Every structure is written in C-alpha cells, then in structure tokens.
Structure 1
Amino acid sequence: MKQRVAGRQQIAVYGASGHTGRFVVAELRRRGVPVVAAGRDITRLLDCGFDGEAVGIRAALIDDPAALISAFSGCAAVINCAGPFLDTALPVAQAALAAGAHYLDITTEQASAWNVLQQMDRPARRAGVTAVPAAGFFGGLADLVVAAGLGTAREADTIDIAIMLDSWHPTEGTRRTGARNTAVRQVVSGGKLVPLPQPAPEREWDFPAPWHRKSVTALPFSEIPLITQRVKTGELHTWLSQVALDDIRNAATPPPVPVDASGRSAQRFLVEAAIGRHGGQLRISVSGQDIYAVTAPLVCEAALRVLASPPPRGGAYAPSALFDGAAFLRALAPQHLSLTGLPD
C-alpha cells in the first residue's frame, strides 16, 4: 500500500479552464486551499488568468499517463471537471491513484460513475486512497438528499427524485457530454436495474412554491449508480422539469450568462426526493442558484471531508457512503443551499 503524506493539502483540478472547473478553482481558493490548475490545453489554462503564485498551472493530455501522474504529483486530491467523463474518468482516476491522491469527479453519466465504482474500488484500496464519482449537482446532490431522508436506513419502498430547473443554458462541455453519452439509461423498477422505458414516461409533479405543479419527464443521471450502491429499493426514478429538457434539446439555446460577481447565472434549481417507506412518504428538498456554480461547493466540501477523514482502507464510494447526508447539506446552507424538510 502506498503511504500518503499526512497534511499534504494541495488539490489538483483537472479541467480547470472549463466553465465548472473555474468555479471549483475559485471555491478552493476561497477556502484557502492551494490549487494546481490542470488540463489538456496549456493555452486555455494560461488564458484563465489564474494567479501564478496561488495556483500552479500544469498541462497533461488524457492519453499520456506519465504526464497526468506528473501533473498530480504532490497533490492530496484530484477533482476531475473535464468531460465527457466516459473518456476522462478512468485515465484521470488511475493517474491520481498512481500519484497517491484521492480522486473525485462531477460526472452526470451513469456509465462513467459505474466504471469508477466498479473498476477503481480495488485499485484505490491497494493505493490507500479514495475515489468518489459524481460528487456534483447531478448525482451527488440527489444521493445526499436521499441519504438525509433515510438516515441510517438502507432500504425504501420507492424513491422518486424530481429536479426543477427554471431554465437550462448548457455549457459547451454539457453539449459534448450529451453527444458522447449514448449509453442506455437505467432506473430501478421491481427491485431491479432496468433500461429507462422508451418513450420516457411523463407526469405532473407538485413542487414547493414558487414552482408548484409542473410537467416532468423521466431522465435518470448518475444518482442511480450512487444510490443503488447503498440503498435497496423497489423503485428509483428521476424526473426533470420539461422546461429544462426543452432548453437542453434546443440547439439554439445559448450558454449560461453570468449575472453576479461570482459568475453565477440566473438559473434557479430545486431537487426534491420523495421517499416512500413503511406506508408513509417523506419529502426533502434543496434549492439554490446555478447548477454549474453549486457543483463547486459540493465537490470541494466532499474533497476536504475525504482529506480530513479518509476511509482507513480506501476504495471507491458514493458520497452518501462516506458522509452523513444531513450534516453535509447543512454545511452548505444557507450560503449555497436552502433546505426544506430535513429531519432533525
């Protein structure tokens, strides 16, 4: 087992020049964490205007394992923000482990999350480090909301996750990921993982104010691999607001536009979990502004918690397998998230 150096707190952000990557670098700096801004294109990294004294700049291509390992050398953790993660997750995770660093990413892609959970668990244990896929808005947030509702329980009759976005102006990276992600999406039905029915089911969902009743369409993301890693349920489905789906399907929808000094867009979101158990139903919701921007505090909080208290034997985990869901969400409120219905 590789011995990691205690107290080595520098974190590498791979894909730092991307839209979400820049938010992650800014959040780490706000928290006083030394950052290595890494990526495939040195010109793009330099053009970001990162402060050279506070942020190191290192370039490495995905197909160059030695360069990736060198880019992550001396780092305690690597946060991968470079999609499509079907192409980047395993190479970056393997290089992070070889450098003795924890690995986290923000994938929305089910196949990518499963790849990390299944293929990197044993190597991470051998390296004595931790791998956490999908620790951002899609995947990780819903996983933590469900964990907050279940507490110590590991089973539910039904779990429905409804995601309300009042708009979705996709980044260039989101467009590329959508084009690359042609894998069949899966849900849980009848207690088993099954393909999402086609055409995708539609329904009405009663969101809290100010959204109220809205049309939603079944569209599962990387929360399915995360939740099923630790929770047994008869039904697990994710629903996305139709207005957001219409935006993302429209090639003419422009990218997000910043409306404040932090670079956030005006987009508002709400993620609600409806958990059916023992004949009752519990609803928990979290809301905030800009799904790309909020990914930064989510994945940075996860990285710093892993550094503060890593699993003693390493391995690959869903966020909810490592963190208390309610405590994690409360740590981000009210600055980043508004919480409703969280159990005491």
Structure 2
Amino acid sequence: MITIVGATGFTGTLIAKQLEQDEVSMRLVARNARKLETLKTSLQRECETAIADVADLNQLKTAIEGSKVVINAAGPFTTLGLKVAEECIKAGVHYLDITGEQQFIRAVIERFSASASKNKVTVIPSCAFEYALADEAARFLEKEMGGLEGFESTYVINGMFTSRGTKRSVLCALESESHQLRNGKTQSISAGAVAAFQHPDGKIYQRFPFPAGEVYLIPLHSQVRNISTFLTSEAPPAVLQLLSTTMPVAARSPFFKNILNFIIDLGPETPQNTNETTFSVYCEGDFKRKRMGLNIAGRDPYSLTAVIAARVAQKLLKDTNVRRGVISPSMVDKSNGIMAITQAESTAWQSVEIKTVV
C-alpha cells in the first residue's frame, strides 16, 4: 500500500488521483476530517483514510502503519517533514517527498543516510518537478560525456500559479541558508547577483542564483565539483537585485514573516489554470573541456510532480532492487526512468550542441 501524507493539499490530491488512475491501493492521510472525506468521496476507487497531524508522533505512527511506501506532500518540509521521514525509516517504510526546500534536502541526507541504509529503506527527497528533472539531466550528461565536473541548471517558468503550500515552502526556503557547489564544497549564494541569459531558443532573460536541490542531490551519484542553479525572470535587473537582497531578510524577521503569511492566507488555497504553465529546465554539463546542453520543456509542473511521485512510489512498491539509503530521484532507475516517465507526459528532452570549452 502507498500512503499519501498531506493528501488533501493541492499536490497531494493530484497524487491521489494519479494513483487511482494507476489502480494502486492507497491510504489518504490528512489532519482535516472534512477535507479528507471530500477527497475520498471524489475518488471512484475505494481507499483507506487516517486523520493525523504530522506534529503528533502517535497519530503519525498509526497513519503509516502497514504501509510499504509513504509519499509526503505535507509542507513546509523544513518545519514538518523531518519527523515524517524519521518515523518511516524506523518503521521500515520507503519514503519520498515533493519538497523544493534545499536545506530540507540537505538535512534528510545528513541525518538519515546511515539509518535508512541500516533499516533497508529507500528515502528520496524532492521526487518532483523540482528537482527530479535536473537531477536526471545531470546523470544523462555525465553518461554522454564520460564524466561530470561542472553542472548548471536554469529554470524558465511562464505563467506560474502556486498553491498556498508552495508559497509557504518558498518562505521557508527564503529564511534558510542558500547554497551552490564550488570546488566540491557548498558556498553561500551572493544576494543581488543578476545577469542576462540567452536561452537556446534565442530569448534573453534575466537570471539569478537560487537554492535548488541539485546542489545536494547530484553529489549522491556524481563526483561533480561545481553546481550552479538559476531562476529566470523578465523583471528589470534592478528590481530583481532589490528583491533577492531584501526578501531573505524579510523572511527571517518574525514581524515581516507574519505579514507574509497573512498575505498568503488571503490568496486562493489552490492555484488556477496550472495547465497553462509552461517550463524549460535548461541544463549544461562540462567534463575535460567538453560541454553539452540538455533542454527539458513541458507544461503544468504540479501535474507532472504528481505523475513523478506516483510512478516512483510504485517502483519502490514493486522493485526490490532499488538501492537503499537516501538516494536522488534519478537513482531509482539506471535506465533514465525519470526521463521516460516525463516523456510519456509530453515533456520534451532535447540535446543542445555547444562549442568545445577552450
């Protein structure tokens, strides 16, 4: 059985519907009984439910009892996720989540690698649009070039609509440390660094460093020395410099954080028209003066996340050969599994020719 923690959230609901479509037995876990019942009755396939607040260890233990795999969709993960992962490991239950919070990924790797291996459990943080695609791209580029010394990813998202949960996760990420990888060691991101970037399609964007999960996920399977991750915007550079400097400060202030949470609560709980969101994750790798690009393009990151999480969970359910311990999404399958899952959802993976590094 696959259990979804945080099942009544926007992405949790999408995952439940995907598992129903795939005809998989599941248990829905949430703290709101009314929302849980509404979700259950919306599904055509019979499923179990459990009311649990992840902050209550007794409720959490009961909720995951008897599960083979847990998908954690209850964020913000930095605040709520570590206990879920820990209890799954103790119970011998495979665990994956959909976090986009870099420092949560770091904490999972540092705290649970040994215990997950010892208990023969597979733990996969960030099994989602962020950052499974770029993680898979790094493995692909490394195989193509025969090695990987440097890697960078640039996220271009057009028409992004976000849920309340995503906004709160972003707030958690803003108040945490932000890292990139330099010469094999993590290094803090410099606030206010904005530069022009030409996408392979020829369009010019402004891009700025942001704390993506690749910084901690890719080194789980690669000897890469340098990782840079960027987000793009069409806003003027001066505006981006101001925001990238002031927003982390505001997020760390209890006063301003309360204001930001109040603003989040005023907005809609679920995003609208997510199928109109398009994205490109453009990745480049280098090895021994060779450089290669890979552009990943598609639409609707939320629905894609649901498919990725559901399909990887099913693989953990059935495949006893998946490596144990804390692994990255791309490590679940040696034959480009994430690529295959997303290509089936009309996500395009296209190699980009780059001149040899001089």
Aligned: 1:198 with 2:191: yes
For residues 142 and 100 of structure 1, the distance between their equivalents in structure 2, rounded to whole angstroms, comes to 29
TM-score by length of 2: 0.83
Structure 2: tracts of 5 or more residues without a match: 248-259, 354-358
For residues 188 and 330 of structure 2, the distance between their equivalents in structure 1, rounded to whole angstroms, comes to 24
Which string of whole-angstrom CA distances, capped at 9 and with x for unpartnered residues, describes residues 72-124 of structure 1? Answer: 12221000011010122221112223333200001111111112112122222
> 2:159: which partner in 1?
167
Give the C-alpha shift of residue 342 in structure 1: 8.9
CA 286–314 in structure 1, closer or farther in 2 if over 3 Å, else same: same
> 2:316: which partner in 1?
306
CA 193–121 in structure 1, closer or farther in 2 if over 3 Å, else same: same
Q: Percent identity?
A: 22
Q: Say if 2:208 and 2:230, in contact at 8 Å, map to a contact too.
A: yes
For residues 321 and 335 of structure 1, the distance between their equivalents in structure 2, rounded to whole angstroms, comes to 20
Paired residue secondary structure (1:184)? coil
> 2:279: which partner in 1?
269
For residues 154 and 69 of structure 1, the distance between their equivalents in structure 2, rounded to whole angstroms, comes to 44
Give the C-alpha shift of residue 170 in structure 1: 2.0
Root mean square deviation of aligned Cα: 2.8
Question: 1:94-173 maps to which residues of 2 (within 5 A)?
Answer: 94-151=86-143, 155-173=147-165
Aligned: 1:178 with 2:170: yes
Q: Say if 1:167 and 1:243, in contact at 8 Å, map to a contact too.
A: no
Question: 1:303-342 maps to which residues of 2 (within 5 A)?
Answer: 303-311=313-321, 314-324=324-334, 326-341=336-351
Q: Say if 2:209 and 2:228, in contact at 8 Å, map to a contact too.
A: yes
CA 328–342 in structure 1, closer or farther in 2 if over 3 Å, else same: farther
Q: Say if 2:330 and 2:338, in contact at 8 Å, map to a contact too.
A: no
Paired residue secondary structure (1:139)? helix
Aligned: 1:36 with 2:27: yes
Which string of whole-angstrom CA distances, capped at 9 and with x for unpartnered residues, describes residues 311-337 of structure 1? Answer: 577311112333236343023314242
Match of 1:221 among 206, 212, 222: 212
Q: Say if 1:144 and 1:325, in contact at 8 Å, map to a contact too.
A: no
Paired residue secondary structure (1:283)? strand
For residues 342 and 47 of structure 1, the distance between their equivalents in structure 2, rounded to whole angstroms, comes to 46
For residues 40 and 110 of structure 1, the distance between their equivalents in structure 2, rounded to whole angstroms, comes to 26
> 1:231: which partner in 2?
222
TM-score by length of 1: 0.86
Which has the larger share of helix?
Answer: 2
> 2:9: which partner in 1?
18
> 2:292: which partner in 1?
282
Paired residue secondary structure (1:193)? strand
Give the C-alpha shift of residue 289 in structure 1: 1.1
> 1:89: which partner in 2?
81
For residues 292 and 112 of structure 2, the distance between their equivalents in structure 1, rounded to whole angstroms, comes to 34
Paired residue secondary structure (2:149)? strand
Amino acid in the other structure paired with 2:151: I
For residues 214 and 55 of structure 2, the distance between their equivalents in structure 1, rounded to whole angstroms, comes to 28
Q: Say if 1:69 and 1:98, in contact at 8 Å, map to a contact too.
A: no
For residues 212 and 170 of structure 2, the distance between their equivalents in structure 1, rounded to whole angstroms, comes to 12
Aligned: 1:293 with 2:303: yes
Say which is worse superposed, 143-152 or 85-94, in terms of deviation. Answer: 143-152
Paired residue secondary structure (2:307)? helix
Say which is worse superposed, 138-147 or 313-322, in terms of deviation. Answer: 313-322
Structure 1: tracts of 5 or more residues without a match: 1-9
For residues 267 and 287 of structure 2, the distance between their equivalents in structure 1, rounded to whole angstroms, comes to 41
Say which is worse superposed, 97-106 or 236-245, in terms of deviation. Answer: 236-245
For residues 287 and 276 of structure 2, the distance between their equivalents in structure 1, rounded to whole angstroms, comes to 36
For residues 61 and 347 of structure 2, the distance between their equivalents in structure 1, rounded to whole angstroms, comes to 35
Which string of whole-angstrom CA distances, capped at 9 and with x for unpartnered residues, describes residues 138-185 of structure 1? Answer: 122211111122128785232110111013222101121222331111
For residues 133 and 320 of structure 1, the distance between their equivalents in structure 2, rounded to whole angstroms, comes to 11
Say which is worse superposed, 322-331 or 264-273, in terms of deviation. Answer: 322-331
Which string of whole-angstrom CA distances, capped at 9 and with x for unpartnered residues, describes residues 279-319 of structure 1? Answer: 12111121111211211111122212222324577311112
> 2:254: which partner in 1?
none
Amino acid in the other structure paired with 1:234: R
CA 243–159 in structure 1, closer or farther in 2 if over 3 Å, else same: same
CA 184–40 in structure 1, closer or farther in 2 if over 3 Å, else same: same
Paired residue secondary structure (2:100)? coil
